[in-house]
A and B are shown apart, each in its own frame.
Chain A
Amino acid sequence: MEFSEHIKTSYVDNVVLSRPFRPPVKGTLCVTSHHLLLSSRQEREQDADLDPDEKDGDTLELLLLLKGIDAVEKRSTGSYGTITIKCKDLCIFQLEIPGMTECLNIASSIEALSALDSVTELYPFFYRPETMKIEKKIPEGSSEEFFGQIAHQADKWRLSSVNKDFSVCPTYPEAVIVPKQTSDEMLMAAAKFRQGGRFPVLSYYHKTTGKVIMRSSQPLVGAQKKRCQEDEELLGEVLNNSERGFIVDTRSAQLAQQARITGGGFESKSNYHNWKRLHRNMERGKNLQESLIKLVDACNDQTHNMDRWLSKLENSKWLSHVQSTLSTACLVAECVEREGCPVLVHGSDGTDTTLLVTSLAQLVLDPECRTLIGFQTLICREWIQAGHPFQQRCTHLALSHARLRNEAPIFLLFLDCCWQLHHQFPLAFQFSETLLIQLAQEAYFSNFGTFLCDTEKDRHAFQVKEKTFSFWDWMNNPAVLKTFTNPLYQRNELVIWPSVWPHSLHLWQGNHLKMGGVVINGLEFSPDEKKLAAARGHAGYKF
């Protein structure tokens, strides 16, 4: 490995670490291929009551995955260099390093090693915890597994392996659930008519009404108003006789119209009988990323012109994105539950807002998704396997000055919406807020391979499942699971309709205000932090 090429200075003594709300600590700073460490040595002999771990005098003050660093800023003050490190979990701290050369070397190492390009160079491929084993098993939340659960009821559906070897759609898993009457040939034809080959597949089967949520990408209608008979038939198969269905397009009607210029488009009424289109304008891509940047900016503003806090929060528009996401998800849930109609959801690519909507609708509708296991499988099925491009979307969070490429906090928005539901229905979820906060971090940097890569195809190619540990395996260890469990949980069989009025939506303080070190809301309920930190092993660090 050529990691060592990036490390010109591997350690520096007498580095001072300054963190908010903590006294500065002096110690030895060390850069390894994947970590940044700082350990301090203190005279502590007189203090006999200390933990045995700390008695030997070395205290690990900081242990941080380099991948977790969003931005590095360097500044020189005389013979000292100061590095400000901004992390993807919104924490910020400073290192004061004696010697300019050392400072610059350390900074450039961090910059290089925190932005490794190749997946197999990332830490999950090196992480080898003693207590865990890599188990090669069917991933939780696979289509096969889900179909197994619904097969006895969903007799109009079948499991298709048309995408074996990812040949039809590179961003789908190998197995997909499709209408029984649809042949694999039809699917292949329909795939050609959908962006990225994402033909309509089953996302969720609602047992109480027997209705489904499907998802796809946009049809490639284009300026010439092309049609595809197989695609029309496929959707036709979903409807009984004269039944109505809804297509929820996550773009505004105008945007969908514009998409035709670049070859995309929408399902026209005349070609897709009995399907009614509903447009919802959801923010995506760059705008969403900018909204997060503004939000983080407002949350981190230490200069406090605090009387402007609420306007800043409003101007970030983050909460209105939360609102529109939740209401679109509720719209889908309403179609399925109240109207008793099947729904197809798509935007353009079908890998971002589409998944946001389908997964949240399931959380609203289905008590199973609100259990610990159900939530895991939901994320596996609707995010990881469904091909949300985690690697592209989660390269940087919001503190980096690097030019934005494909970053977008879609998954973070999903977690925020989950938190809003959790906040409004504090008993309905088996998992706790802590899990949501942990996931917000895992998606950006992790010891585990779970959120690596953009697609199942890539994960196969890099043998992610064979060579890395799974976050879910770690999480399901009873000692860890306890910290992610909501002690007040009471299974609620009903649909949970959230209020989306502005005064019902709150800033997710537990995650967004972590940075100042003053997470206060719910502090007293939070699980034993020491234990959690120990269970986290080397993944995180605590202020």
Chain B
Amino acid sequence: MASASISALNSNSLENSSSKNVSRESLRMEPLTNIPYLPGEEKVTDKEIIYMCPFNGAVKGKVNITNYRLYFKSFEVDPNIILDVPLGVLSRIEKMGGASSRGENSYGLEITCKDMRSLRFALKQEGHSRRDIFDSLFKYAFPQSHNMPFFAFLSQEKFLENGWNVYSPINEYKRQGLPNEKWRITFVNEKYELCDTYPTILVVPFKASDEDLRRVAVFRSRGRIPVLSWIHPENQAVIMRCSQPLVGMSGKRNKDDEKYLDVIREANGQTAKLIIYDARPNVNAVANKATGGGYEGEDAYQNAELIFLDIHNIHVMRESLKKLKDIVYPNVEESHWLSSLESTHWLEHIKLVLSGAIQVADKISSGNSVVVHCSDGWDRTAQLTSLSMLMLDSYFRTIYGFEVLVQKEWISFGHKFSSRIGHGDKNHTDADRSPIFLQFIDCVWQMTKQFPTAFEFNEHFLITIVDHLYSCRFGTFLFNCESVRDTQEVKLKTPSLWSLINSNIEKYTNPFYTKDSSRVLYPVASMRHLDLWVNYYIRWNPRIRQQPQNLVEQRYMELLALRDQYLKKLEELQLSDSPRISNNSANSPVSPTQIVHQIQTQF
């Protein structure tokens, strides 16, 4: 074990050492022997091809296309290059060069991926050699554009755990102590009639009748009324989420909405002013009036205070990530790395999202209820509520808890995964696409960096989630909202990502995790303390030093195992030598069981 980790440490980064790092370019989802077919995965076609590797130059090999993945293996052993790319990751497939174009390797395919890389393949310029492969890729990478099902619906994968059982809204609300005398569970949306992008089960003030809710829904964009996301176990302050009010140019008001917010304010008995966090920049909120939206005016909502959080919209985030990709793939911008990084504004956006969430968490801790919304309440709002809940509630920092958090705040409340990711859709320029969820995971990663012992999951867990955000191997992130998932019978017909993770949970566990029950985590959102998530964004580059954190985790596990061994040995020795030891045991201050930390290892 020891020697393995030593050699992993010693790849030389001064020289090109990618030859040693066979699987760097693979997604490493499963150990690779030959082509790793998943149950339900079927071969479509294969072809000899040249992979234009940005780090090793042209590499001859064979590509296999299945209904799930693109799998390339080089003929040569040195460099031994394997590409294992789920087709869901593909964003754009283009033909490059024509039958008559000159120059070596100028004829082939160019593939843009959703996970920060681009792949180029070259073929011989004869007899439409790329047609078959292009057609297969196009068809299976974009099944939605071809009236075909996602792979998740074809998968025959079986797991020990069923991830679909992880989240039950009733159980989660029960965990939070709901319903109680101030808050009730309503089934008004059971048939998605109140709001088609909300889940069926909602928590609302006890004082508000279902009839009230229907009247409020009229005044909120897409019927996304303020509902409870989280309640503080002691001071009963609540995080409410919703969409923007339909104020419009004329400055419309709605008595029911105003009354409803006041009922929310009163519920915990100590909120003088309900704080409304509008995630948008002030100007954007004003601009939204032109399209019928807007924000809560001072006159109409006298017992509320509106604060804008200056977080930009999905288009800005998309462009920012695009810029980031430009400076990290294939080559890292070397000469002005930091200022180039700065000019992408990616970290600045991360900062704004995090500091918005910190403000929410801070208000809640001090007993003040808050409402969070943006325009539709499914992008920035989800980021803010889920991050502040992560700060406030240590349950969400466990593996199961985090799955519940994603399942609840993102999936069930209608973050438009399908539109934002463009699952199986060929239209790569769709303006609805945006890396909002990735940005959330990045924020979570920043928190795990700042509090290395506070989270039960490790970096691999976060990367796995993001990888399967695109892969379409699981039904977890498919479709835009619960109502569509119900009609598609996602839970019945597809496996859940949490099944994969929960069936092999050690792999995703942070050994440094220590349960710390009720602490609120306030990360530092200053730019000085934010880092680029190199292990994710630059992971395809063979020159990055791969994940020292993993080494540290491994080493820690080794040491824990070693300690357990020694303790066992000590116990054995004590038993075999009990007469002499028992004399001393009265005044020996430390018994082996006392030394044992709360963390136990499974070795």
Bound complex: CA A209 to CA B427 (Å) = 59
A311, B14: Cβ atoms closer than 8 Å: no
Identify 20 new A-B residue pairs, CB closer than 8 A, beyond the known A487-B559, A497-B13: A306-B351, A307-B345, A309-B528, A310-B341, A334-B14, A425-B9, A426-B552, A427-B552, A490-B2, A490-B5, A494-B7, A501-B334, A503-B332, A503-B538, A503-B544, A504-B534, A509-B529, A520-B524, A521-B450, A524-B453
- Residue from the list A330, A423, A495 in contact with B548, Cβ < 8 A: A423
Bound complex: CA A494 to CA B9 (Å) = 9
Q: Is A428 an interface residue (CB 8 A)?
A: yes
A503, B532: Cβ atoms closer than 8 Å: yes
* Chain A residues in the interface with B (C-beta under 8 A): 299, 304, 306-311, 313-314, 319, 327, 330, 334, 423-428, 487-488, 490, 492-504, 506-507, 509, 513, 518, 520-522, 524-525
Mark interface residues in B523-551 (1 if CB within 8 Å of A CB, else 0): 01011110110100010000111001001
A492, B6: Cβ atoms closer than 8 Å: yes
Interface size class on chain B is 35 or more
Q: Which residues of B contact A307 (CB under 8 A)?
A: 342, 345, 348, 527
| B interface secondary structure, majority | helix
Bound complex: CA A424 to CA B2 (Å) = 18
Q: Is B337 an interface residue (CB 8 A)?
A: yes
B527, A310: Cβ atoms closer than 8 Å: yes
Bound complex: CA A501 to CA B546 (Å) = 13
Mark interface residues in B436-451 (1 if CB within 8 Å of A CB, else 0): 0000000000000111
B453, A311: Cβ atoms closer than 8 Å: no
B339, B454, B534: residue with the most chain A Cβ atoms closer than 10 Å: B339
Bound complex: CA A424 to CA B7 (Å) = 14
Q: Please provide the chain B residues from 328 to 351 with a CB less than 8 Å away from any CB of chain A in the complex.
A: 328, 332, 334, 336-339, 341-342, 345, 347-348, 351
Bound complex: CA A495 to CA B15 (Å) = 14
Bound complex: CA A258 to CA B529 (Å) = 43
Bound complex: CA A509 to CA B551 (Å) = 21
- Known A488-B552, A499-B543; contact A494-B332, beta-carbon cutoff 8 A: no
- Known A330-B14, A524-B453; contact A306-B526, beta-carbon cutoff 8 A: yes
Bound complex: CA A64 to CA B452 (Å) = 32
- Count the A-B residue pairs with Cβ separation under 8 angstroms: how many? 122
Q: Which residues of B contact A311 (CB under 8 A)?
A: 338-339, 342
Give A298 Cβ to nearest chain B Cβ, in Å: 9
Q: Is B517 an interface residue (CB 8 A)?
A: no
A503, B534: Cβ atoms closer than 8 Å: yes
Q: Is B139 an interface residue (CB 8 A)?
A: no
A424, B10: Cβ atoms closer than 8 Å: no
Bound complex: CA A496 to CA B13 (Å) = 10
Q: Which residues of A contact B512 (CB under 8 A)?
A: 524
Q: Is B555 an interface residue (CB 8 A)?
A: yes
- Residue from the list B5, B13, B529 in contact with A520, Cβ < 8 A: B529
Closest 6 pairs (CB-CB, A-B)? A502-B337, A499-B13, A310-B342, A314-B338, A309-B527, A497-B12
A490, A503, A506: residue with the most chain B Cβ atoms closer than 10 Å: A503
Q: Which residues of A contact B339 (CB under 8 A)?
A: 310-311, 314
Q: Which residues of B contact A327 (CB under 8 A)?
A: 14
Q: Which residues of B contact A506 (CB under 8 A)?
A: 531
- Residue from the list B11, B347, B545 in contact with A504, Cβ < 8 A: B545
Closest partner residue, chain B, to A487 (CB atom)? B559
- Known A488-B552, A490-B2, A503-B544; contact A524-B9, beta-carbon cutoff 8 A: no
Q: Is B556 an interface residue (CB 8 A)?
A: yes
Q: Which residues of A contact B345 (CB under 8 A)?
A: 307
Closest partner residue, chain A, to B545 (CB atom)? A499
Give A392 Cβ to nearest chain B Cβ, in Å: 31
Closest partner residue, chain A, to B532 (CB atom)? A503
Q: Which residues of A contact B450 (CB under 8 A)?
A: 520-521
B454, B528, B529, B559: residue with the most chain A Cβ atoms closer than 10 Å: B528
- Residue from the list B338, B453, B528 in contact with A502, Cβ < 8 A: B338
A494, B555: Cβ atoms closer than 8 Å: no
B14, B451, B552: residue with the most chain A Cβ atoms closer than 10 Å: B14
Give A125 Cβ to nearest chain B Cβ, in Å: 39
- Known A502-B338, A524-B451; contact A427-B13, beta-carbon cutoff 8 A: no
A314, B551: Cβ atoms closer than 8 Å: no
Q: Which residues of B contact A497 (CB under 8 A)?
A: 10-14
A319, B6: Cβ atoms closer than 8 Å: no
Bound complex: CA A330 to CA B13 (Å) = 11
Give A519 Cβ to nearest chain B Cβ, in Å: 10
A488, A501, A509, A521: residue with the most chain B Cβ atoms closer than 10 Å: A501
Q: Which residues of B contact A499 (CB under 8 A)?
A: 13-14, 543-545
A501, B551: Cβ atoms closer than 8 Å: no
Closest partner residue, chain A, to B537 (CB atom)? A503
Give A431 Cβ to nearest chain B Cβ, in Å: 16
Closest partner residue, chain B, to A314 (CB atom)? B338
Q: Which residues of B contact A314 (CB under 8 A)?
A: 336-339
B556, A488: Cβ atoms closer than 8 Å: yes
Q: Which residues of B contact A488 (CB under 8 A)?
A: 552, 555-556, 559
- Known A426-B552, A497-B13, A502-B334; contact A299-B528, beta-carbon cutoff 8 A: yes
- Known A497-B14, A502-B332; contact A521-B544, beta-carbon cutoff 8 A: no
A327, A513, A520: residue with the most chain B Cβ atoms closer than 10 Å: A520
Bound complex: CA A280 to CA B347 (Å) = 34
Bound complex: CA A524 to CA B510 (Å) = 14
Closest partner residue, chain B, to A304 (CB atom)? B526
Give B171 Cβ to nearest chain A Cβ, in Å: 31
A500, B14: Cβ atoms closer than 8 Å: yes
A504, B10: Cβ atoms closer than 8 Å: no
Q: Which residues of A contact B334 (CB under 8 A)?
A: 501-502
Mark interface residues in B171-190 (1 if CB within 8 Å of A CB, else 0): 00000000000000000000
Q: Which residues of B contact A426 (CB under 8 A)?
A: 548, 551-552
Bound complex: CA A309 to CA B528 (Å) = 7
Q: Which residues of A contact B454 (CB under 8 A)?
A: 524
- A to B CB contacts below 8 Å, 30 in the list: A304-B526, A306-B351, A306-B526, A306-B527, A308-B342, A311-B339, A314-B338, A330-B14, A424-B548, A426-B551, A426-B552, A488-B559, A492-B6, A493-B6, A494-B7, A494-B9, A495-B10, A499-B13, A501-B334, A501-B543, A502-B332, A502-B334, A503-B337, A504-B544, A520-B450, A520-B524, A521-B450, A524-B454, A524-B512, A525-B452
Q: Which residues of A contact B451 (CB under 8 A)?
A: 524
Q: Which residues of A contact B528 (CB under 8 A)?
A: 299, 306, 309, 507, 509, 513
B529, A427: Cβ atoms closer than 8 Å: no
